[in-house]
Structure 1
Amino acid sequence: MGFDEGRAETIRYHEELYSAPEAHDPDAWLNQPAPIVMGALQHLDRTRPVRVYDLGAGSGRHTIPLARTLPSGSRVVAVDLLDTAVQSLKERAARESVADVVIPVVADQEGYRFDRGPADLVLGVSTLEHVSSVEAFRDLLARMRDATAPGGVVVLVIATDRHEVADGETRPAQAELALTTEEAVRIVDEVYADWTEHRRDESPFGVTEERDGRSYELRSVNVRRVLQRPHE
Structure 2
Amino acid sequence: MSLSRLEQIRLTEQRYHDEYYTNVKLFSEGSWLQSPVKSVMDTFDSLPNQNDLQLLDLGCGVGRNSIPLAQRLKDDGKSKVVCVDFLESAISGLDKYSREYGVSEKLELIQSDIGEFNVRTNQYDYIFSVSALEHLDTFATFQRVLESLQLGTKASGIHCFIINSNIQETAIDTGLPLPPMFEILFKTDSLLYTLRNRYANWSILRENVNRYVLEIMRDERKVRLESDVVTWIAQKSPPS
Residues 214 and 149 of structure 1: CA distance in aligned 2, closer, same or farther (over 3 Å): same
Matched, 1:98 2:103: yes
TM-score, structure 2 normalization:
0.90
Matched, 1:202 2:209: yes
1:211 counterpart residue number? 218
Deviation at 1:82, TM superposition (A): 1.1
Sequence identity percentage: 27
Corresponding pairs, count: 231
Deviation at 1:19, TM superposition (A): 0.9
Of residues 11, 32, 36 in structure 2, which corresponds to 1:33?
36
In structure 1, what residue type is equivalent to 2:196?
D
Residues 14 and 137 of structure 1: CA distance in aligned 2, closer, same or farther (over 3 Å): same
Maintained 8 Å contact 2:27/2:64: no
Maintained 8 Å contact 2:121/2:153: no
Residues 145 and 117 of structure 1: CA distance in aligned 2, closer, same or farther (over 3 Å): closer
Task: Give the secondary structure class of the aligned counterpart of 2:9.
Answer: helix
TM-score, structure 1 normalization:
0.93
Deviation at 1:46, TM superposition (A): 4.2
List aligned pairs for 1:1-232, cutoff 5 A: 2-20=5-23, 22-27=24-29, 28-70=31-73, 72-73=76-77, 74-115=79-120, 118-166=123-171, 167-232=174-239
Maintained 8 Å contact 2:27/2:35: no
**Structure 1, gaps ≥5 residues long:** none
Deviation at 1:168, TM superposition (A): 2.3
Residues 208 and 67 of structure 1: CA distance in aligned 2, closer, same or farther (over 3 Å): same
**How far apart in 2 are the matches of 1:72 and 1:13?**
36
**How far apart in 2 are the matches of 1:80 and 1:47?**
25
CA RMSD in angstroms, aligned pairs only: 1.7
Maintained 8 Å contact 1:31/1:60: no
Maintained 8 Å contact 2:170/2:176: yes
In structure 2, what residue type is equivalent to 1:160?
S
